[in-house]
């Protein structure tokens, strides 16, 4: 996809957008050229951890004129969007407007056993209410989709969780971090970790003041 951002950046954006009460609308693209079927299981695993954030809108990938893929071999076997036939008159050349990857329809059928669980999960997520992951004193109240847990944290675990309000590079996993990972309270990407729990305050202030919570 030639995207320059990482899952860590995307999740941090969703978390802090929620904190500042900024509506975050985002898409989840599927049937991407050259995709691997196991990506869907990995995507689902991530989505299950972040249902206290705004849900995505799923879209099957498409191509438009002047898009990066347009002049590549991938455009072989493409066709106009089906819906365009219903809104444009016959004299309009739909091929000059936008196209779908026609061959991906066959790819979608082949990958449907992997795609459908993701789409079904997003549907349930979109129709759920009162989803949250918040801290109340030493307790984490986990009301994410399919969850109804209360997790008790030790003082070091609380400090570490707050330390990870912003992404941090950590090379050695301590027992407290392992506990937070096992409870799906922390997200990891390339040895960088961040808390998934709703922040208690603006962690950026602590960053600017160079304040690190006790113990970590």
Q: Choose the final residue of a domain: 69, 101, 128.
A: 128
Task: Please check the confidence at residue 174 and state whether its pLDDT lies above 90.
Answer: yes
Query: Would you tell me the crossing angle of helices 155-163 and 175-182 to the nearest 10 degrees?
Result: 80
SS3 185: coil
**What does the pLDDT read at residue 60?**
78
**What does the pLDDT read at residue 208?**
47
CA-wise closest residue to 151 among 65, 6, 169, 143: 143
Q: Choose the final residue of a domain: 128, 156, 175.
A: 128
Count, residues in the chain: 216
Q: What is the pLDDT of residues 113-133, one digit of tens each?
A: 888 999 999 999 999 999 999
Do 169 and 108 lie in one domain? The reply is no
Q: How far is CA 63 from CA 3, 68, 72, 118, 175, in A?
A: 16, 9, 11, 22, 47
**What does the pLDDT read at residue 6?**
87
Query: Would you tell me the crossing angle of helices 38-47 and 103-126 to the nearest 10 degrees?
Result: 20
Do 124 and 150 lie in one domain? The reply is no
Domain holding 212, by residue range, is 131-216
Q: What is the pLDDT of residues 46-96, one digit of tens each?
A: 999 999 999 999 987 766 555 555 555 555 555 555 656 667 777 777 666
The total domain count for the chain is 2
Do 50 and 149 lie in one domain? The reply is no
Do 105 and 170 lie in one domain? The reply is no
Rounded Cα–Cα distance for residues 154 and 160 (Å): 10
Rounded Cα–Cα distance for residues 90 and 75 (Å): 23
The answer to whether the predicted template modeling score (pTM) of the entire model surpasses 0.75 is: yes
**What does the pLDDT read at residue 102?**
45
């Amino acid at each position: 996809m030639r995207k320059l951002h990482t899952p860590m950046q995307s999740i941090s954006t969703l978390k802090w957008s929620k904190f500042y009460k900024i509506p975050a609308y985002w898409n989840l693209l599927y049937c991407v050229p050259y995709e691997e079927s196991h990506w869907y299981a990995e995507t689902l695993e991530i989505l299950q951890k972040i249902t206290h954030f705004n849900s995505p809108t799923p879209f099957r990938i498409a191509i438009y004129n002047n898009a990066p893929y347009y002049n590549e071999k991938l455009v072989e076997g493409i066709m106009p969007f089906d819906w365009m036939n219903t809104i444009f008159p016959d004299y309009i050349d739909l091929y000059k407007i936008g196209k779908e990857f026609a061959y991906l329809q066959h790819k979608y059928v082949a990958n449907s056993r992997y795609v459908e669980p993701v789409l079904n999960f997003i549907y349930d997520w979109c129709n759920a209410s009162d989803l949250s992951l918040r801290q109340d004193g030493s307790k984490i109240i986990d009301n994410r989709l399919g969850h109804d847990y209360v997790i008790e944290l030790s003082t070091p675990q609380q400090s570490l969780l707050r330390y990870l309000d912003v992404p941090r590079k950590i090379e050695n996993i301590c027992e407290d971090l392992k506990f937070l990972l096992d409870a799906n309270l922390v997200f990891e990407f390339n040895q960088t970790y961040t808390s998934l729990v709703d922040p208690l305050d603006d962690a950026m202030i602590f960053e600017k003041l160079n304040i690190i919570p006790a113990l970590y």
